[in-house]
């Protein structure tokens, strides 16, 4: 079969580039452990009362570490700390909090101002991230996935003392 010289060069160049891309993918996954965010667990959104999300809120694990369960719903975040508007939780400076968050109705977002926390909340899935709060201040938890008419009001606050 006759292949034109230029065409042959292009076939070699494209194949080599595919090889480089595959190698880059392999190195990023195996060496740098790059992973897509994935849910840490699953729950039945119609039966949250029978799960760890029955009583949302903060658990003190000692030594400045905390777990926090949060239920997102149209249109607030249930932090389990009374029913203030917006809901708020107080943390000591330096607290390291692992958040476990789920939605009981539609897709919501979870973003914490000034920190590296950005989750998508899907009913049936538990999303998780760990954040350290080093600076005193008020940091809002914001829903950044459109979830209905009162989406813009869907906010809570973390107060670091």
Site residues for ligand CUA per CB under 6 A: 75, 108-109, 143, 145-147, 151, 154
Q: Pick the closer one to ligand CUA by CB: 69 or 108.
A: 108
Q: How far is the CB of 44 from ligand CUA (least distance, A)?
A: 20
HSE value, Cβ hemisphere, 13 Å, CA-based, for 107: 5
Q: Pick the closer one to ligand CUA by CB: 115 or 151.
A: 151
Q: Pick the closer one to ligand CUA by CB: 80 or 123.
A: 123
Q: Pick the closer one to ligand CUA by CB: 64 or 75.
A: 75
Q: How far is the CB of 141 from ligand CUA (least distance, A)?
A: 11
Beta bridge partners of 72: 77, 103
DSSP 100-158: EEEESSS-EEEEETTSS-EEEE-BTEEEEEEEEE-S-EEEEEE--S--STTGGG-EEEE
**Cβ-contact 73, 103 below 8 angstroms:** yes
Q: How far is the CB of 73 from ligand CUA (least distance, A)?
A: 8
């Amino acid at each position: 079969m006759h292949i034109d010289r230029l065409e042959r060069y292009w076939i070699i160049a494209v194949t080599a580039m595919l090889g480089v891309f595959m190698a880059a993918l392999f190195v990023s996954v195996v060496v740098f452990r790059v992973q897509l965010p994935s849910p840490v667990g699953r729950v039945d959104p119609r039966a949250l009362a029978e799960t760890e999300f029955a009583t949302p809120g903060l658990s003190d694990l000692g030594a400045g570490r905390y777990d926090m369960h949060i239920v997102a719903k149209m249109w607030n975040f249930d932090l389990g700390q009374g029913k203030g508007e917006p809901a708020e939780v107080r943390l000591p400076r330096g607290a390291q909090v692992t958040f476990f968050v789920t939605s009981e109705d539609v897709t919501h977002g979870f973003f914490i101002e000034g920190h590296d926390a950005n989750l998508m909340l899907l009913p049936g899935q538990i999303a998780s991230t760990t954040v350290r709060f080093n600076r005193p201040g008020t940091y809002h938890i914001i829903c950044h996935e459109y979830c209905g008419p009162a989406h813009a009001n869907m906010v809570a606050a973390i107060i670091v003392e």
